[in-house]
Chains A and B, each alone.
Chain A
């Protein structure tokens, strides 16, 4: 089956630093990638949708200057959490859509971010 690679899987950083998370589709071209955030015992919250070669579409309440998304190619999207603060600590998950069917949605393994 299709594989989406996400790394790092776990990162601890100091408050005020920036963290970059990569999401790669390994064996298919992902025209659309999604970035989610998940707090403990809560559901996935869509942060933004990114299409290759265009600006990401952010959900209401998500600061686009804080969560920078770049989808430079059909196989790579990055999320950069700029000037991270403890409240940004969360589980971040990417997913990629390949093909026409929306059921062809594959998830990365997630990144646990802890900001001290």
Chain B
């Protein structure tokens, strides 16, 4: 079956760095997405990786290893507004998005 695994909850300190991991098993693979979702709101797009390696976008970076079925989202210089759920989603061979359950990130002062 198809599966996405990511931690349920993480806690970090304002100004620090946090890495949220995601492993996936899908029927074929056409890329991996990270979305940010604040409570009661729709997800907003953060990143899309389809090739191996690290892509940096400001304070956020996303990494992909296709051979390992693994990705991470790295958040630097954490701010209180970064408290949210972070959703990992993989695109399978039929271009269906397979969603993880999300990682709730709690930022403490």
User: Is the pair B40, A112 in contact by a Cβ cutoff of 8 Å?
Assistant: yes
Please, how many angstroms separate the alpha-carbon atoms of A8 and B91 in the complex?
Answer: 29
Kindly state the interface size class of chain A when it binds its partner: 10 to 19
**A45 to B, closest residue via Cβ:** B99
Q: Is the CB of A91 within 8 A of B33?
A: no
Q: How far, in Å, is B97 (CB) from chain A's closest CB?
A: 7
A33 to B96, CA, bound (A): 12
* Selected contact of B42 from candidates A43, A102, A109, CB within 8 Å: A109
Contact A110 B31 (CB under 8 A): no
A106 and B48 CA atoms in complex are apart in Å by 13
A102 to B104, CA, bound (A): 25
A44's partner among B41, B45, B99 (CB-CB below 8 A) is: B99
Q: Mark A84-115, 1 if CB is under 8 A from B, else 0.
A: 00000001010000000011011111101000
Closest to B35 in A: A107
In the bound assembly, the distance between CA atoms of A95 and B41 in angstroms comes to 13
The answer on a CB contact under 8 Å between A103 and B48 is yes
Q: How far is the CA of A16 from the CA of B30 in the complex (A)?
A: 41
From 21 to 68 in chain A, residues with beta carbon under 8 angstroms from any chain B beta carbon are 41-46
Shortest distance in angstroms between B29's beta carbon and chain A's nearest beta carbon?
A: 12
Contact in complex: A107, B44 (CB < 8 Å): yes
The distance from the CB of A113 to the nearest CB of chain B, in whole angstroms, is 13
Q: Which one of B33, B101, B102 contacts A103 once the chains associate, using CB atoms below 8 Å?
A: B33
Q: Please indicate the chain A residues that have their CB under 8 angstroms from the CB of B42 in the complex.
A: 6, 93, 107-110
Give the distance in Å from the alpha carbon of A106 to the alpha carbon of B96 in the complex.
Answer: 15
B31 touches A44 (CB 8 A): no
Residue contact B41 to A42, C-beta cutoff 8 Å: no
* Chain B, 6-61, CB within 8 A of any chain A CB: 30-31, 33, 40-45, 48
Q: Which 8 A/B pairs are nearest by Cβ-Cβ distance? A: A107-B42, A103-B48, A43-B101, A110-B42, A43-B99, A44-B99, A93-B42, A109-B42
Q: Which residues of B contact A (CB under 8 A)?
A: 30-31, 33, 40-45, 48, 87, 91, 95-97, 99-102, 104
